[in-house]
Structure 1
């Protein structure tokens, strides 16, 4: 029986993919008594998990980290926020606000931070406080660029509107993350 070149590498990829698939994206790191260091991606050295956005108007999420794997999802919304949960060579495993996703080539992703509105008719305010005047009402699913985030509020840009939205109404930023 002839053995193809790269068979050992293919087996290693399958084993690595299996190990990565077995780790849940929201599974907490186990404490070892002392505060553990943040998890870093093996390819980029960036924190994991982290948020990115879709760079183009179309991105294919595949079953595995290779173009030969089946496409499970096609994202068609430029700037859509995605959460990176794993890295392998030039591939990133991402999930959307519903927890769906797959492996995408890194060239389809951007470090530009965006957020998706999870509530319906969420007020965008002129200042980061509940009683401030409303600038706009944002429907469920609106995607906006994050300009900055404080503990309870994020300043967003959606279309030609800029204003503050309560963090609890957004997906695409961690609860305690501060952005300048």
Structure 2
């Protein structure tokens, strides 16, 4: 099992100098969430998300990576207060070579495959990924004028099955006493 807080810390170490040069703060908030997976691939996905977030975050602002358990899932979000992505672009956001619009592109930066790679890695880990996820009341969570990408990982099924079987066995043993 991987501690996602540790993996985020390793990615932050890599991006720390670039963030400092751009005047952007990197912040981690959350639990020590654990998932089963390939640490190199998960760091690659986080790196691609941080790279995009750094590209579009204004100086003196912060990129926040959150890790929490929500509805029996480990949820990791990368949030930045940059220009929001229009809703019509969200369905294709994770397509290869898709670019939102020319005003978001900077010369020499990005190839248009970073988010597609993120999606491939997350799907390979039996997870889901979405951009600008809506909250209750149809408002954008946390950053009303920014971007948020959320990755969700299901808990390992064997763990739930194991505990269910163990509890059933314990109940049967207690009833036989």
Give the TM interval when normalised to the shorter protein: under 0.3
Q: Report which structure shows greater RCO (CA 8 Å, sep ≥6).
A: 2
Taking structure 2 as the reference length, the TM-score comes to: 0.21
Taking structure 1 as the reference length, the TM-score comes to: 0.21
